[in-house]
Amino acid sequence: MKCLALIGLLLVAALCGCEATPPMTATQMDALQVREVEVPADRAFAAASSALFDAGYQIHVSDADAGLLTAERREDPAVAVNATLVILTAILSKGGGAQDKPPDYYTICIEVLPRTADHSDIRIRPFFNGQVQSADNAAARKTVQEIWTLMQRQVLMKEPSK
């Protein structure tokens, strides 16, 4: 009886812990994804393009007038990992269906918005395997930070006096 009560108590506690975090509003997302740079929009766009190249992304969409960019990077799993996975799944399924690990696709969308004549807003939105990564996701934040650092380097390189 005591055991049942204890399990019930644990279950209630566990359910209380299942508090769903509310989805972020557009303003909250902007706060995490949008950065301001002290350069005109065309310069910011060029820096963004350059940063994507530096980070190993292939640009698929580039519209400088609209300030939109989409780029994608493919990451293949290590051959050893894939071979191990194929052998293990073949053994476990008794030769029924060996499975490999498909490549991962990292996509980044960038929107460059002119704020004033010499200020721009840059929004970086990362995707993983075609699906959006929430702005508070650790991997997403790391990706955004990486692109942001490369962009800043570009802006600084071209404008050392500032």
Partner 1 sequence: MSGRALVLIGFALLCGAFAGCETTPPLTQTQWEAIETRKVEGNRDDVLRAASAVILDQGYFYTASDQAAGTVTAARVPSSQRDEFQRTGGMTGPAMVDTISIWVVQASTSECNLRVQYRDFGRHVESQERVTKFWNAVQRRMLKQDPVQPVETGGAR
How many residues in the shown chain lie near partner 1 by CB under 8 A? 40
| Residue of the chain from 127, 141, 150, 152 that contacts partner 1 (CB under 8 A) | 127
* Helix orientation angle between 41-54 and 138-158, rounded to the nearest 10 degrees: 120
| Residue of the chain from 36, 63, 118, 159 that contacts partner 1 (CB under 8 A) | 63
Q: Do residues 118 and 162 touch, judged by C-beta distance below 8 A?
A: no
With CB under 8 A as the contact rule, which of the stretches 3-11, 49-57, 84-92, 133-141 interacts with partner 1?
133-141
- Is 75 a residue that touches partner 1 (CB under 8 A)? no
Extract the runs of DSSP E, i.e. beta strands, from 5-136. Answer: 34-37, 58-63, 68-75, 104-116, 119-128, 131-132
Residue 95 region by backbone torsions, left for phi larger than 0, else alpha for psi between -120 and 50, else beta: left
| Residue of the chain from 44, 140, 144, 151 that contacts partner 1 (CB under 8 A) | 140
The residue ranges that bind partner 1 (CB under 8 A) are: 22-27, 29, 60-61, 63, 65-70, 72, 74, 102-105, 107, 109, 111, 113, 123, 125, 127-135, 137, 139-140
